[in-house]
Structure 1
Amino acid sequence: MLNSCIFVLTSLISATTSVTMSRSAKFGLRIPGCQSVNMSKQTSLLRFLSSPNSGHGRGGGRRSNDTQDQDDPEIQETPPEPSEREESGTRRTQFSSGEAEGEGGAHVREENNNIPGPSTASAPPQSESDTEETDSGSSATEEEEEEDESDSDSATEEAAKRPKLCDQVSLDEKAKKKKKKQYKFQDSWMTDDKGKKRWWLKHSRRRIMWCEACKKYDKSGKRNKFIKGCTSMRIKNVRKHEKRPEHKTAVKKLEAENVPVQQRPMQKAVLRMEEKKIDQMQCLFRTSFYLAKQGRPFTDFPGIMRLQKKNGIDVGQTYLNDKEARIFVDFISEEMRKKLSNAVKDSDFIAILADGSTDRGSIEEEVIHVRYLKDNLEPTTVFVALKPLDRGDAPHITEAVVTALKEDLELGESWRDKLTFACFDGAPVNMGNLSGVGVRLLEECPHLIVLQCCAHRLELVFKDVLKEVAYFSTVHDMFTTIYKFYHYSPLNWQGLKNAAEALHIQVLKPPKATGTRWLPHQERALKAITRDHPALVQHLGQLVEHGQLGSGDSRDKAKGILEVVKSVKFVLFALFLAKYLDLVCSVSKVFQDNESTLESVFRRVDSVVKSLTKLCSPLKLTRLMSEVEERDGTVLWKGSTLHMGRAQRGRPSDLAAHRGEVIRDCQQILNSTLHHLGRRFDALLSQSVLSAARVFQFSSWQQEDEEEEEDDTEDDIEEDKLRKIYRHFQRPLEVNGFELESALREWHELKRVCRTQLSGMRRPPSFKDFWVMMLRREEQEYRNVFQLLRLVLTIPIHTAECERSFSLMNRVKTDWRSCLAPACLTSLMAISLSEQSVETFDPVPAIRLWWTAGRRRPSTAPYGPRPRGETETPISDSTSSEEEQ
């Protein structure tokens, strides 16, 4: 009870003293010595109460038998815990002194500086001065009472650091009312006081703001919170930052970068310069385009420029050398490549064509073409690039193809969703089942279909037949012998022309029967022999009869050739070959046409099989050989006498016997051709997806009256084919937003519309022309089913374009230009293979690209030898400033 009374008395004394001091501070009054005296009285009272001699000591109080033992030598007094009001007052005092802002915070700090902390019975942590006072006893209390006013100020500062109980109720109320304020970014901060946008100021939801300009361009190394992010959301921080010199410099740099190319100071000067120099630059670029289109060397450029100057054309004074011509060609090619890249990106699906060869510089080159739908309507095959290879193996070829798709066509990683077909020749490095190029591409694109060139398949069929029929090989070898006999001997060729002139025949020089495209070469070689047969026989006979017209070696060769070409069997076989090669070569030409589609392959293969089957008839073959006549035991053809050959025992030597022997050989050739055609093309035509693509072949649709009878069956078959195409190309179709159910519904409507269109046409259109027309008319009505149609139109059937590119490569990169770099050779080939001509070529886009690339000096006079005493023409100040920029 005594302890409680003492504690209450002490608290009242402290509260009275605190109220007195707070009122004195509020009215600006100061009571000298009041603080030190009161503090001394409180301290003395506490010491007295806690001393052993007082009634509150060891023996003055009542002890409980439950908690204290009588044998204990000393009883320790545990100070009571501070009340909740004291703890809240302490926390409020710390908050007010450290963080509060505004008038309330200032008032609290003023009170804390003027009001001493209370002395409580809870024995708070004591400072060093308090410890000294406790040790010194009552003498210290007397010294504190005698301190003057200067000592009271120091005591006030020390007391301010201690926990205080002054105005605890008011401080608690303020702490509850005023919590820590959370500042947020305001949209009004994006505009300064003058109305100018702070476009460089950025912020995030995490309450962080930063400067975009300083983050990119401030490299000064000084401390800048707006680079990593400022967490103090205050407008004053933004205003302070925008006044920094480093910030102003960074903003200027970022503003200059964001200005469009045409609006930059240098580009404005260039545009002004364009008005004066555009005609001259157009002349230079057109001339460079002409050189590349015609395959002429760059060294022709200066001479053509001098000629145009002589003709009165203003071509300027600069860029008149072969080095600049090459630069112009590169920019023309680059502009074409960008247009091609944009066109390919707009196409839903693409196909790749590739083939390899060696150029004149003994460099392995891989030529790459792309097939796509121009404007998503018309199938087009275009040259992409010529890639040099370190080795002509499958990994390097695959890398070249992927690089062309990613970089040259700028497809990036999206090429996997666009590439649907790939076409190569039959080389094992391309079509190998284990590690060929096709297999490696399939690993990247599981939906890819790899095809072998149809024209190459037909060539292989011809080679297979050639191996099985012995006399066929003999005739083929004779074509090669006749070619060499006249190609390598100008004397023999002149003699053949003289013989043809005497017979009033326009002679054709025997061509090479072997080459890249075998069948057309074979046809040309046979045509040269059969058409000019009289002149050939006469010239060879003159060489054999008159030895002085040629060397001994020539006479022996002429005798051997003459014996073969005048034989009845050779002539009869040649008449059959003329018809046979005509049928097969017509198919080969279709397979090499860029306008051909998969429907063309099906239709032409079926047609040639039917024609060859009909030709197997002995009656048909006999009619082909009816041109050879026998009169009075003499066999004649085109006025030339033919011989039966050497008589053999047991074999008749008349015309009928030779005709029968030739017919058997012809039938063997026809049967072998049919067999190998089926073996080579059945694998292609029976492929599930390609077979399902025939659903768009309108020539195979049933007539309307037949459809009424078997409507459900036909519809189910067609829907199954459409589903089969969708399942294989599901990934690229879904990327383009394809819906299968909508496509099935649209298909039946489209089929009725197509039949109406076909019924109104006089002649059936081609597969490609008809569907391109329908794509133009009904593109939005049948969007889903037309995506399947675009897949079918993208299918490549040959790599003839690659062969044409190699022919161009050999014409451009000759022995005299064998040092052409692959990049330059690609530019020349791209221009030469483009559809543009000199009349339709527009040089302005390439000129603008050249100007924006910084390769321009249209106002700079060329350097070179000058006559003695002649000075250079000074350049105007405006031009000099532009050049410096």
Structure 2
Amino acid sequence: MAQENLLNNENTVVQDAPQSPCVSSAGSVVESQKSRKRKFLFKWKEEFKWLEYNVESGVARCSVCPQFKRLCDSSSRVVNGFKEPFRHETFKFHNLSAPHRRCMEALDGQKQPDNSSVAKCLKTMDEKMFFHLEVLFNISFYIAKNNKPFTDLRGLAELAGKLNVEVLEGYTNNKQCKEFIHYIAQSLKEDVVADIKASEFVSVLVDGSTGRSDVEECIIYVRYINASGVKESYLAIAPLANSTALGYLDAVDEEFQRVNMDWRHGKCLVGLATDGSPLMIGGVNDLASKITNYANRITTIHCVSHKVHLSVLKSLKGVSYIDEIDHCLISVYKFYNGSSKRQKQLSETAEVLSAKLLKLQKLHTVRWVASKVGTIKAVIQDWRSLVTHLENVGCGKETDSSKAKGVLKTLKKYRFLRTLHFLHDFLFPLKKLSLTFQKPDLLINQVQIHIKKTIASLEELEKTPGPMENEFINNTSVTGMYHEIQLDEMTEGQKKFECDRKEIIEIGMADVKRRFLKTATDDILTSMSIFDTFTWPEKSLGSFGKEEVTTLVSHYKDLLQHAGKEDIIQKALDEWHEFKICAKTLSSVGLMGKVMKHHGGRFPVLLQLLKIASVLPVSAASCERGYSQMMSLMKNKFRSCLETESLDDLMMVNLNGPPLPQFNPTKAIDKWYFSAKTPRHVRRHKGNTSDSSAFSTKT
């Protein structure tokens, strides 16, 4: 009977406690008693000082644990808060739990730092273990930054010990190195994501490839504005569920959700840059169309460097003789690259002829324009040495004498050699254009001026020979002697060359104009060119740019913030008139930063358009560079089974990490230390208490 009375008293609301709205009527109290719902007893707050109860919401929770999110049990209902029924055992169990005790000790440490057990532990770690962890995290950063194997951690720790750096034996295996690098990458990613979120507008660069392990992966970069200006940063590499546009869209979605960014409904994403594959842009149900279906404000950009590559291929594809030239260049490279003996003989021949050799280069399919110019330049400069050496090899009895004769026959043709000189003149401005477009600091409004400059160079080349072709003409006699070597088929070769030259230039200029001056990227990218002050006309500046400003404001109207009541288009036009007076003396380089610093309050709408123009990417070259670094240095033939998560961590450290002298591991150590579900063994295991486990050597 006494036990029953005690149970009834325990489940009865204290009389002098404030009543909750849910028990305001007698009927509700009777119904509550019948259902035997356990109410909150306010006397529990005297027993558990950390307990708090909200009368209006009826939620009880711990007031201490939420203050220490890294130490508490985030899955506990007492930490998150819960409603009736309440049981005394629930709070009693939470009071005795290890995570809650750690949080209470941390609270005591904040109030009385000298007396708390956690403060002593951290103090001990600061004095002894923290230096050990600093050394290990710095070594791990070096390993990731220089693409060393994880197993090097123990060896480098032993080396540090030999140099009288006190390093303990704990946490020096390859698995721990992988874990250290993971937390270093996470700390770096947090900094990048914080900068991205702080940027008013961002653009995404996406590319895909298949690695050595035949896993289809998607690499994602983000272009944004931070304190130092416009920046392109690596964000993630993710495996694709399938190599379709939907697969890429899911990968982008997943990564943005992981960093808590909503590109579909948010207003920050304004641009997307990809290569020209039909899967990405220009095809049916491509990635660009799927993204613009969700947000039509997003401007999709075909990588400009890739367009240059396509223009060169288009101009040379119509001339069949170019294939013969490529075959000869590849044959020369293979003939010498595969034999150190031939390379030595070629060097000796050049020394006798007092000629300076350039290293023969291989034709790359990815960097085709740049590699072809380098290969052509090397063959032109080494031509006399190559011909002399190949003649000697062809006259001998070596097994490769027939190969030497075949290559020599092509090298000595007038048509081949003059075409080679012309191709250098033709490809050089296109190479320069391609390299310019690969710069991450190039703005979209500067594209048109570089295109027009390149077209002007090609038009000049159509009228008169270039410098390399002029050099060939001046050094070739009427009879066809070039550097004291007789060229073959001069008369016939000259006629065929003139036809080839005319066709290459005509097709090249027409394709460049088609791809760049009449781009399908609507009027948006063309309108952005008004922010290039170098192209402003000296006369009729008053009416210049009004149509372009109207186009830009109409397209990005939902993104632009405007405090006034007047029409935003009219506001932008009024700002544009005054902006031209202030900015006509300013260079387009760093224009946005100068306007933000000196005139930001005067041109609020135009400043937002300048920011959008700054973050719109010109090319996806950063993705290509990231893949090249990944395939050649990280996921090479020795590490082809590297997991995607580890690869992502290594790329984050490699591409976004600071130089080693500037690396501060404190944040990464903090994340590593507080991320464990159970306390870290910062004082080492019980079996390793002697100083004999240290790597350091005492002299």
- More deviation in 852-861 or 783-792? 852-861
Whether 1:804 aligns to 2:633 is no
Structure 1 residue 514: deviation in Å?
3.1
How far apart, CA to CA, are the structure 1 residues paired with 2:105 and 2:533? 52
Whether 1:727 aligns to 2:549 is no
Cα deviation, 1:6-31, whole Å, max 9, x if unaligned, reads xxxxxxxxxxxxxxxxxxxxxxxxxx
Whether 1:858 aligns to 2:682 is yes
Structure 1 residue 211: deviation in Å?
3.6
Structure 1 residue 507: deviation in Å?
2.7
Whether 1:605 aligns to 2:451 is yes
Match of 1:836 among 658, 679, 695: 658
Match of 1:678 among 493, 497, 513: 513
Whether 1:405 aligns to 2:256 is yes
% identical aligned pairs: 23
Structure 1 residue 671: deviation in Å?
0.8
How far apart, CA to CA, are the structure 2 residues paired with 1:298 and 1:493? 38
Whether 1:500 aligns to 2:350 is yes
What is the total number of aligned residue pairs between the two structures? 628
Structure 1 residue 458: deviation in Å?
0.9
TM-score normalized with structure 2 length? 0.81
Whether 1:509 aligns to 2:359 is yes
Q: Which residues of 2 match residues 603-682 of structure 1 at below 5 A? A: 603-618=449-464, 623=470, 625-630=472-477, 633=479, 635-637=480-482, 639-645=483-489, 653-654=490-491, 658-682=493-517
Does structure 1 retain, via aligned residues, the 8 Å contact 2:595–2:607?
no
Match of 1:322 among 174, 185, 190: 174
**Which residue of structure 2 aligns with residue 751 of structure 1?**
580
Whether 1:817 aligns to 2:669 is no
* Cα 1:261–1:829 shift into 2, 3 Å: farther
Whether 1:527 aligns to 2:371 is no
How far apart, CA to CA, are the structure 2 residues paired with 1:701 and 1:544? 61
**Which residue of structure 2 aligns with residue 873 of structure 1?**
689
Cα deviation, 1:784-804, whole Å, max 9, x if unaligned, reads 321111110111111111111
Say which SS state the counterpart of residue 730 (structure 1) adopts.
coil
How far apart, CA to CA, are the structure 2 residues paired with 1:773 and 1:260? 51
How far apart, CA to CA, are the structure 2 residues paired with 1:609 and 1:439? 31
Match of 2:437 among 591, 601, 617: 591
Code of the aligned partner of 1:795: L
How far apart, CA to CA, are the structure 1 residues paired with 2:50 and 2:159? 59
Structure 1 residue 731: deviation in Å?
2.8
**Which residue of structure 1 aligns with residue 695 of structure 2?**
none
Does structure 1 retain, via aligned residues, the 8 Å contact 2:445–2:530?
no
5+ residue gaps, structure 1, are 1-100, 102-178, 181-188, 230-240, 646-652, 759-764, 864-871, 876-885
How far apart, CA to CA, are the structure 1 residues paired with 2:83 and 2:201? 45
Structure 1 residue 825: deviation in Å?
0.6
Does structure 1 retain, via aligned residues, the 8 Å contact 2:208–2:218?
yes
Structure 1 residue 616: deviation in Å?
0.7
* Cα 1:701–1:873 shift into 2, 3 Å: closer
Q: Which residues of 2 match residues 391-430 of structure 1 at below 5 A? A: 391-407=242-258, 409-412=259-262, 416-430=266-280
Say which SS state the counterpart of residue 291 (structure 1) adopts.
helix
How far apart, CA to CA, are the structure 1 residues paired with 2:497 and 2:417? 10
* Cα 1:197–1:835 shift into 2, 3 Å: closer
Match of 1:770 among 583, 588, 591: 591
How far apart, CA to CA, are the structure 2 residues paired with 1:607 and 1:270? 66
Code of the aligned partner of 2:380: T
* Cα 1:266–1:571 shift into 2, 3 Å: farther
Whether 1:356 aligns to 2:202 is no
How far apart, CA to CA, are the structure 2 residues paired with 1:198 and 1:266? 19
Does structure 1 retain, via aligned residues, the 8 Å contact 2:264–2:294?
no
Structure 1 residue 258: deviation in Å?
7.7
Q: Which residues of 2 match residues 78-93 of structure 1 at below 5 A? A: none
More helix as a share of residues: 1
Does structure 2 retain, via aligned residues, the 8 Å contact 1:318–1:858?
no
Say which SS state the counterpart of residue 431 (structure 1) adopts.
coil
TM-score normalized with structure 1 length? 0.65
How far apart, CA to CA, are the structure 1 residues paired with 2:105 and 2:518? 56
* Cα 1:296–1:685 shift into 2, 3 Å: same
Does structure 2 retain, via aligned residues, the 8 Å contact 1:317–1:861?
no
Match of 2:236 among 377, 381, 385: 385
How far apart, CA to CA, are the structure 2 residues paired with 1:386 and 1:406? 14
Whether 1:332 aligns to 2:184 is yes
Code of the aligned partner of 2:681: R
Code of the aligned partner of 1:401: V
How far apart, CA to CA, are the structure 2 residues paired with 1:270 and 1:731? 54
Whether 1:299 aligns to 2:126 is no
5+ residue gaps, structure 2, are 1-14, 16-24, 27-40, 67-72, 111-115, 692-699
Does structure 2 retain, via aligned residues, the 8 Å contact 1:318–1:860?
yes
- For the aligned residue pairs, the C-alpha RMSD in angstroms reads 3.7
* Cα 1:437–1:210 shift into 2, 3 Å: closer
Match of 1:563 among 380, 403, 409: 409
Match of 2:607 among 763, 786, 804: 786
Does structure 1 retain, via aligned residues, the 8 Å contact 2:205–2:273?
yes
How far apart, CA to CA, are the structure 2 residues paired with 1:344 and 1:259? 36
**Which residue of structure 2 aligns with residue 45 of structure 1?**
none
How far apart, CA to CA, are the structure 2 residues paired with 1:260 and 1:561? 81
Structure 1 residue 742: deviation in Å?
4.1
Say which SS state the counterpart of residue 203 (structure 2) adopts.
strand
How far apart, CA to CA, are the structure 1 residues paired with 2:345 and 2:528? 57
Say which SS state the counterpart of residue 382 (structure 1) adopts.
strand
Does structure 2 retain, via aligned residues, the 8 Å contact 1:464–1:676?
yes
Q: Which residues of 2 match residues 78-477 of structure 1 at below 5 A? A: 200-204=52-56, 209=58, 211-212=60-61, 227-228=83-84, 268-272=119-123, 273-375=125-227, 378-407=229-258, 409-412=259-262, 416-477=266-327
Say which SS state the counterpart of residue 815 (structure 1) adopts.
coil
Code of the aligned partner of 1:798: S
Cα deviation, 1:22-46, whole Å, max 9, x if unaligned, reads xxxxxxxxxxxxxxxxxxxxxxxxx
Cα deviation, 1:426-481, whole Å, max 9, x if unaligned, reads 11111144211111112222221211111111111111112111222321222122
Does structure 1 retain, via aligned residues, the 8 Å contact 2:481–2:487?
no
* Cα 1:209–1:484 shift into 2, 3 Å: closer
* Cα 1:609–1:539 shift into 2, 3 Å: same
* Cα 1:536–1:260 shift into 2, 3 Å: farther
Code of the aligned partner of 2:630: M
Code of the aligned partner of 2:580: K
Does structure 1 retain, via aligned residues, the 8 Å contact 2:51–2:60?
no
Does structure 1 retain, via aligned residues, the 8 Å contact 2:305–2:437?
yes
Cα deviation, 1:518-549, whole Å, max 9, x if unaligned, reads 100101110110111121111111111112xx
Higher alpha-carbon Rg: 1
Say which SS state the counterpart of residue 519 (structure 2) adopts.
helix
Code of the aligned partner of 1:689: I
Say which SS state the counterpart of residue 477 (structure 2) adopts.
strand
How far apart, CA to CA, are the structure 2 residues paired with 1:389 and 1:814? 20
* Cα 1:624–1:502 shift into 2, 3 Å: closer
Does structure 2 retain, via aligned residues, the 8 Å contact 1:317–1:862?
no
How far apart, CA to CA, are the structure 2 residues paired with 1:396 and 1:688? 30
Structure possessing the higher relative contact order (Cα contacts under 8 Å, 6 or more residues apart): 2
Does structure 2 retain, via aligned residues, the 8 Å contact 1:416–1:445?
no
* Cα 1:835–1:774 shift into 2, 3 Å: farther
Does structure 2 retain, via aligned residues, the 8 Å contact 1:567–1:642?
no
* Cα 1:257–1:751 shift into 2, 3 Å: farther
Code of the aligned partner of 1:344: I
Structure 1 residue 749: deviation in Å?
3.1
